[in-house]
Amino acid sequence: MKKITRFISGIEEKMAFDHISRSPEDTMNLGRIVAGKILPGDILAFSGDLGAGKTCLIQGICRGLDVPEHIYITSPSFVILNRYEGRLPIYHFDFYRLSCQDEILDLGYEEYFFGEGVSLIEWAERAEGILPEAYLKIRIKSLSPSDRSIEFIAYGEGYMERFCSGSYDLSIKTKSTTKGG
């Protein structure tokens, strides 16, 4: 993993590259590892093309946050927000249908971002302007039919130390893996 620190218009952007996932199972495992580092109030903003694996990664995170296996983590594209109870409240957003952040403001969703729960936001690029200063951006890129590069970018304080250091061994199998996805 390599790290880069740069400044864009005065905001410090800390980057850590190079998680390569070879399969949906890898992506799910990465999610479980990320879950172990999550604290109340964290905001994780996901971006990536359709089919890149955003929901898959979030399924792993939810399992890692102890959402029981019989609760399915489904795509919130249709309803915009799904809520789950794990060891923390989880707000799973999907802004796929939204066209601009004014609509997100109108909906009042940003109130969730400042609560004690964890906000996991798909298609977060639609909401960047209303996100707090500190959050973790997770960018998923499709490299081949099975391979994905998963990039962590820390904004503001508190995320770099937790998420962009230490080892991430995706081959570690934790508990049972969820089917589908």
Partner 1 sequence: MNVILAVETSCDETAAAIVKNGVHILGSSIYSQIHDHHKYGGVVPEIASRKHIETIIRIIRNVFDESGLIFKEIEAIAVTTGPGLIGSLLVGLCVAKALAFAWDLPFIPVDHLEGHIYASFFVRPDIEFPFVCLVVSGGHTDLYLVKGHGDYALLGQTRDDAAGEAFDKVAKVLGLGYPGGPVIDKLARQADPAKINFPRAFLEKGSMDFSFSGLKTAVCNYVRYGKGKDILETNAHEESGATDDKNRRSVSEINPNGPSKLPRGMKIEPILEAKDQGQIMSIAAGFQEAVIDVLVGKSMEAMTKTGVHTLAIGGGVASNTRLRERLEQACRERGVDLVIPPPHLCVDNASMIGAAGYFNQERATRDWSIAAHDCRRTGLI
Q: Which residues bind partner 1 (CB under 8 A)?
A: 24, 49-51, 53, 55-56, 59, 72-75, 77-80, 96-100, 103, 106-107, 123, 126, 142, 144-145, 178-181
The encoded tokens of residue 124 equal 């977060």
CB atoms within 10 A of CB 39: 11
Nearer residue to partner 1 within complex by CB, 18 or 106: 106
Nearest approach in angstroms of CB 55 to partner 1 is: 6
Residue that has been written with the tokens 């951006």 in this structure: 137
Nearer residue to partner 1 within complex by CB, 9 or 99: 99
Nearer residue to partner 1 within complex by CB, 158 or 181: 181
Q: How far apart are CA 3 and CA 5, in angstroms?
A: 7
Nearest approach in angstroms of CB 79 to partner 1 is: 6
Exposure letters 110-128 (e unless 16+ CB within 10 A, then b): eebbeeebbbbbbbbbbbe
Nearest approach in angstroms of CB 104 to partner 1 is: 9
